[in-house]
Amino acid sequence: MTTTVSTTAALALGDDALVLSHRLGEWAGHAPVLEEEVALANIALDLLGQARVLLSLVGDEDELAYLREERAFRNVQLVEQPNGDFAHTILRQLYFSTYQHLLYAELAAGDGPFAPLAAKAVKEVAYHRDHAEQWTVRLGDGTDESHERAQRACEALWRFTGEMFRPVEGLDVDGAALEAAWLESVEGMLRRATLTVPEGPRSGAWRAGAGRQGLHTEPFGRMLAEMQHLHRSHPGASW
């Protein structure tokens, strides 16, 4: 509990939560059914709460969220990927929430600076993971079209998944063990959903992902513009 918070680690975890929260928020008013819209908004709000705590550990949350340039964000590229169709959103949720659940469980069990946050967030994230797993099975093992779309999403996002397990300065976790547990869980889920585990690379020369270094994919800039424009146009505005 006495360890100081690493800015790099707090930004990495905080930006992951903030960016995914915004992406999920984009479903408001567009989700396939009302019930699912509320579910996605709930998950987005959980993530926003985590982001606020994490960013506040290392600075002013509003300044960090609204006034940083694209290159200063440290989220993994997976979370900034556009929502796409519902299957895309669900597979992104499956990949990310499985990682986040394993990560927070490990952090909560330790005594590092993130343990108190992780202990609270791990319950929220367990639900996010359950939600994604439930839907992955239903889409994969559903109709021909839902299966095809889920398979496409599962492959399109696969190359972004290796980045989550690369070491982050100040984050005391065993990346290799985390990755092994993630692979076992996600591959098991995909098989249960009658989906084919992608063969494409998650690591090596063809892996995608340098978000932790501040390099982001093209859609991120547009997302950031939408997220930040109100605060930048009306500095200091409040309700």
Residues engaged in binding other proteins (CB under 8 A) = 32-36, 38-39, 42, 130-131, 134, 138
Count Cβ atoms within 10 A of the Cβ of residue 128 and give its class: 0-12 exposed, 13-18 middle, 19 or more buried: buried
What's the DSSP call for residue 213?
Answer: G
Strand partners, 210: 215
Coil/strand/helix, residue 46: helix
Shortest separation between residue 126's beta carbon and other proteins, angstroms: 13
Q: Whose Cβ is closer to other proteins: residue 104's or residue 135's?
A: 135
Coil/strand/helix, residue 215: strand
Nearest to 21 by CA among 125, 137, 149, 107: 125
Shortest separation between residue 78's beta carbon and other proteins, angstroms: 24
Q: Which residue has the tokens 């440290």?
A: 74
Distance, CA of 73 to CA of 209 (rounded, Å): 13
Shortest separation between residue 38's beta carbon and other proteins, angstroms: 5
Shortest separation between residue 86's beta carbon and other proteins, angstroms: 11
C-alpha distances out from residue 228 to 68, 69, 223, Å: 9, 10, 9
Shortest separation between residue 95's beta carbon and other proteins, angstroms: 20
Q: Whose Cβ is closer to other proteins: residue 84's or residue 214's?
A: 84
Q: Whose Cβ is closer to other proteins: residue 37's or residue 172's?
A: 37
CA dihedral 120, 124, 126, 130 (to 10 degrees): 170
The answer to whether 201 touches 50, Cβ cutoff 8 Å, is: no
Q: Whose Cβ is closer to other proteins: residue 34's or residue 205's?
A: 34
State the Rg of the chain over Cα: 17
Shortest separation between residue 135's beta carbon and other proteins, angstroms: 8
Q: Whose Cβ is closer to other proteins: residue 22's or residue 131's?
A: 131
Q: Whose Cβ is closer to other proteins: residue 35's or residue 199's?
A: 35
